[in-house]
Structure 1
Amino acid sequence: MEAVAAPVPGDERDPTIVALRPLLARTQLESRPLRCAYDAEADGWSPAAFHAKVDGLGAAVVVAVSSGGAVLGGYNPEGWIGLGEDRASNGAFLFTWPDGNTKLRAQKLGKVGGPNLAVIDNPGSGPQFGADGLAIPLKPRGQERIAKSKLGTYYSRLPDGGRSLFAAREDSKRTELESLKVYVADAKGVEWRLEGITWKSTVVE
């Protein structure tokens, strides 16, 4: 049976964190208090607003609610730094509650095809997992809430073979989001240093 992370004191203050916590077993965030770093409704539905709030904060969880009621998102173990680099990781994953019932266990979908393109860190775009696993560009103007999801190439398909994180009746190429948030460790941030050609991070308490 898949490992489940235990609750952390303070989780109960945010129902979204309560729902997300079990998914974080064996991740950097498993036992760390979380906070909401970005809320599109409050901070703005734009790439600039997104990166202003999440860049440099380390590992993060994206969670969105679609207009059809699905609750979905992804875990980015590398975080964003907004330098236009693709982030490689076997530890990234996507998840969904297609019917929105977060009291049940989420469907968790791991990275496939190797670590490359786990997350695309584009300063001119919102969160993107793989080339097409989950893409929320936050643009163009007037379509900031549109997301798309195609599973099977970079992230596993659903257990029933489904190829989208959205509710069954939603369009995998064009689904509108009701909300979008990003959660990170409740710490000061992350210090980045360049080791050779690779950026390494350390959480600052």
Structure 2
Amino acid sequence: MSSCRPTHNNNALPSKTPSSTLTRRRRHALMKRGGQKRTTSHSLTIRNGFLENILKAVTPKDAKEIQKEKEMKRVKLIEQSPKGCMKSAYQLLANTVIDGEELVLAYDATRDGWTASAFHERVDGKGPTLIFGKTAKNARFAAYNPLGYFSVEDYRDCPAAFLCVFKNEQSFLNGDASGMEILPNVGSPAIFDFGAQGPSFGPDGLRIPLGNAPANGSSYAGIGEATTSYGSSKKCISRLGSHYAGRSDGVTSVFAKGEKNETNLKELIALVSPSMERDGLYVS
């Protein structure tokens, strides 16, 4: 009797997969492999770019490249600064260790007090310092101390230190380089750093005691005498030629012609760069 159940042949060959199905599978495999290749290529590009950036960051820049960057920063800072001390400061500090670095007002005698303690409280450890002063007869001067102040109770050599006089008020306000005369350090010592005194450049170049000069037993405590007592904290003394170069106009101080070698100050400020603040001493 015939059965209604299908007859199974265990020896029969498996049916073939349709060609259309194989084509789709091959296409999918190829697309997958192609995608992997594209992903790998993209990863290599990112990886290579990352390595290039790392190499660029750790490779030292040459002197010309560094100087160009500083010049660009300086020009921008001068353009952005209002008329006055900041504009002149950025111009004066060209080619110094703080060329192109942003400056801040650390000390203002009118605001903080005409005392040595007020001065050192605000500038010690702040790095290279630029001083600006205005005399009783409205003469403007500047003084740059690349070493900064630390109240080390000593004097130091520093060939990079300098004084500056301005031709007129407009030169100061506009930061006009042609109206600034730089008076470089020409003798040692260049900088005095005593906690009981204000800024002093050499024994005679520029001394702003801000009160009483300390009786420290040094012949450099005063000009021509072992110690000096000043009745006014605004007193200022300057004599050029021995430690800082003389002026082209023959005036023997950084003051106005009629003020000779001693005068009183109307203004005294100190500028520093936050980027240069440090605990240890700077060397020239």
- TM-score, normalised to structure 1, is 0.85
Q: 2:203 aligns with which of 131, 152, 156?
A: 131
- The structural deviation recorded for 1:190 is 1.1
In 1, Cα distance between the equivalents of 2:267 and 2:82?
Answer: 19
In 2, Cα distance between the equivalents of 1:164 and 1:83?
Answer: 27
Bigger helix fraction: 2
Tell me if 1:53 matches 2:142: no
Q: 2:183 aligns with which of 87, 92, 109?
A: 109
Residues 38-71 of structure 1, C-alpha deviation per residue, up to 9 Å, x if partnerless? 0001111001000000000110100011110111
Alignment of 1:1-205 (within 5 A): 6-9=74-77, 11-13=80-82, 15-97=84-166, 99-101=168-170, 102=172, 103=174, 104=176, 105-113=179-187, 116-140=188-212, 142-172=231-261, 174-187=262-275, 189-192=277-280, 199-200=281-282
- Counting aligned pairs with the same residue, the percent is 31
In 2, Cα distance between the equivalents of 1:63 and 1:99?
Answer: 14
CA RMSD of aligned residues (A): 1.9
Quick one: structure 1 residues 165 and 190, their matched pair in 2 at CA, closer, same or farther if it must change by over 3 Å? same
Q: How many residues align?
A: 188
Segments of structure 2 that go 5 or more residues without pairing to the other structure are 1-70, 213-229
User: Which has the greater radius of gyration?
Assistant: 2
In 2, Cα distance between the equivalents of 1:99 and 1:166?
Answer: 12
- The structural deviation recorded for 1:20 is 2.0
Q: Which has the higher contact order (CA 8 A, sep 6+)?
A: 1
Q: Which moved more, 1:135-144 or 1:58-67?
A: 135-144
Bigger strand fraction: 1
Segments of structure 1 that go 5 or more residues without pairing to the other structure are 193-198
- Runs of 4+ in structure 1 deviating by more than 4 angstroms, as ranges, are none
Task: Check whether the contact 2:153–2:193 (CA below 8 A) recurs between aligned residues.
Answer: yes
SS at match of 1:107: strand
